[in-house]
Amino acid sequence: MTATQRRERTIMARPTKSSKPAECQACQGTDLVRRITTYPVHLAGELKGKQIHVGRVALYECQSCGHLMPTAAGQAKVDRNVNMGIRLFLGQLH
């Protein structure tokens, strides 16, 4: 095998799995645009009526209905911030 053949062999593109959802969860629309924006979370239970706005979340926005769907990393950030916000509302922060 020559050096050129080795280089071409390592450069070949590999198919990767896309993290982009195929369709909107609300309306099944397929026109999704990636955004970084504030994501509102409505709380339930004893904190019903309160909201936590998580800033700078990576998500996909449906162009048909406006539904917001966080990416995997965006959802992880939302989970972290909501857990901290709930602890703050309940006075459990030390």
Predicted confidence (pLDDT) per residue in 63-76, tens digit: 999 999 999 999 99
pTM value is 0.76
First to last CA, the chain: 64
With a pLDDT cut of 90, the percent of the chain lying above it is 73
pLDDT at 21 over 60: yes
Any domain includes 59: yes
pLDDT computed for residue 44 by the predictor: 95
Give alpha helix (H) positions in the chain: 3-11, 72-89
Say if CB 39 and CB 78 are below 8 A apart: yes
Q: Kindly state the tokens that stand for 26.
A: 């609300």
* Nearest-angstrom CA–CA distance, 29 and 62: 7
Give the domain extent around 84: 22-89
The CATH number covering residue 62 comes to 3.10.20.860
Tell me if 80 is assigned to some domain. yes
Sign of the C-alpha dihedral computed for residues 48, 54, 60 and 66 taken in this order: positive
Nearest to 60 by CA among 39, 33, 30: 33
pLDDT, residue 19, reads: 78
Q: Confirm whether 70 is domain-assigned.
A: yes
**Is residue 16 assigned to a domain?**
no
Does residue 17 lie within any of the structural domains? no
pLDDT in tens, 42-66: 999 999 999 999 999 999 999 999 9
Q: Count structural domains, the chain.
A: 1
